[in-house]
Amino acid sequence: MREFFIHIFNDYGRIIVFLHIISACLLIGSMFVMRFVIQPVEVDIEDEKVKFGSCLKMMKRYILFLVPVMLIIVLTSIFMNLGLGFKNGNPATYVMVHTKEALWTFITFNFVYMYFKYLQAKKGFDVENYIEVEENMVLMVRYLIPLNLILAMISVYFGVILRGY
């Protein structure tokens, strides 16, 4: 199986790295936009039903956007890890690869947790419990997304180090 990944990476390495970088840019950019562009606008909406309804629609679309982006990041990272032979290289580099994997694993679990918070907010919205909706939305947008944003930027920095720049 390892030979398959190495062979594919040798043939399509530039495309794989390109997809990895573009997906990371999309993920980081989307988190930045959600937290610092869209959320401040949503706060100014007076009608709670309209505000939370649009927040939930936006969060649903965001989660649907995240799934393929995260899958591309994971898949391309597997190809790069095996294709670049980090395991047989410098041990410090291999530790950094595992640190990146740990960061992305935490980011993924954080997004899964956000999905469950989204489901709770949607359930609260359906029964018009706007306090529950607001608590879940605030947790997602003010805390979980910025946490993922910071962790993703750290991971990108490690990626730059791994590439040798």
H or E stretch covering 125:
helix 91-126
Structural domains of the chain, count: 1
CA-based nearest residue to 104, from 130, 81, 138, 132: 81
Q: What is the mean pLDDT of the chain?
A: 91
Give me the pLDDT at residue 23, please. 96
Give me the pLDDT at residue 165, please. 57
Say if CB 159 and CB 100 are below 8 A apart.
Answer: yes
Give me the pLDDT at residue 7, please. 87
Lowest mean pLDDT among 4-8, 90-94, 161-165: 161-165
Give me the pLDDT at residue 44, please. 87
Q: Coil, strand or helix: which one is 161?
A: helix
pLDDT digits (tens, 9 = 90+) for 82-112: 887 777 777 888 888 889 999 999 999 999 9
Q: What is the mean pLDDT of residues 18-40?
A: 94
Task: Please give the Cα distance from 138 to 106 (Å, whole number).
Answer: 20
Say if CB 76 and CB 26 are below 8 A apart.
Answer: no
Q: Supply the range of the domain harboring residue 82.
A: 2-163
